[in-house]
Amino acid sequence: MIILAGTPLGNDGDASPRLRNALEAADIIAAEDTRRLLNLAGRLGLEIHAPVIAYHDHNEIQKAPELIAAAQAGKTIVMVSDAGMPSVSDPGYRLAALAAEEGVGLTVIPGPSAVLTALAISGLASDRFAFEGFPSRKSGERRQLFGKLKYDERTLIFFESPRRLAETLADMAAEFGPNRRAAVARELTKTFEEVQRGMIADLAAWAHDCDVKGEISIVVEGYSRSASGDGGVEQQAIDDVHELVELGVRLKDAAGYVAQRHGLRKNKVYQAVVALTVD
């Protein structure tokens, strides 16, 4: 059997009894970082009898078939990432996919998740959300991604390096708008855990002025029509009108067409476009 096991983000007290038992009973332990796993086991007072092998992004393609073969031979393999849940922005996905494909027993020991922890502590809506991982290191590609997500109504969760935090928040402010609510969570569950909440533009200024360190999660409020400041008319509808006008369509005709497509009143769309143009 293959067991994907969640490990503490930073507080050893979050290690579950199932995780402890699985590590001590495993035939093979596949760890993203063998030293970190052995350090964790030492702090937890565990007796590890299984061989611990490195299993990370750079060797996952080669190692996954070997672990599947070991499971087929009757071994129990426990796979852990550095912290949190394997396969969520960490190694483990290929192993799980291959196990499912080969009919190998696969189970999960639930544990801490930086994604869900950041969402819960952000204070933002949690009924619908999407995890977007690490944005690109390049500003242009980040802006393009944020532009595509601008009208997503789900709460969005990102990971980011502290070195790029200020730049990424500035790009978010440019694409999502400066007044979109967000939260920056740092060092979750650890001694110096910190959460900054506010408008994206304010958070970008805070990050620029601070020497932020540690592991970072960013949670961004989803698009809200009522909070868009356009009288209840979606920004996408306004953009569609402008696009048609640029193609030569009369403003009133463009507003009528877009209103019908979006299920809005023509006068409301027209007035929203005119108001923004005047501003």
Which sequence spans correspond to the domains of the chain? 2-111, 115-220, 230-276
Pick the closest to residue 148 from 184, 172, 119, 122 (CA basis). Answer: 172
The torsion angles phi and psi of 196, rounded to 5 degrees, stand at -110, 125
pLDDT of residue 236: 76
User: What is the average per-residue pLDDT within 264-272?
Assistant: 84
Helix (H) or strand (E) holding 2: strand 2-5
User: What is the average per-residue pLDDT within 257-261?
Assistant: 85
Asked whether the predicted pLDDT for residue 277 surpasses 80, the reply is no
Report yes or no: 148 and 223 within 8 Å, Cβ to Cβ: no
pLDDT of residue 232: 54
Band of pLDDT at residue 230, cut at 50, 70 and 90 = very low
pLDDT of residue 218: 98
Q: Please name the CATH architecture into which domain 115-220 falls.
A: 2-Layer Sandwich (3.30)
- CA 137 – CA 141 distance, rounded (Å): 8
User: What is the average per-residue pLDDT within 187-199?
Assistant: 96
- Residue 271 CB contacts under 8 Å (≥ 6 apart), including other chains: 231
- Mind listing the pLDDT tens digit for each residue in 75-133? 999 999 999 999 998 999 999 999 999 999 999 999 999 999 999 999 999 999 999 99
- Mind listing the pLDDT tens digit for each residue in 130-169? 999 999 999 999 999 999 999 899 999 999 999 999 999 9
| CATH superfamily entry for domain 2-111 | Tetrapyrrole methylase, N-terminal domain (3.40.1010.10)
* Whether pTM exceeds 0.85: no
Report yes or no: 58 and 106 within 8 Å, Cβ to Cβ: no
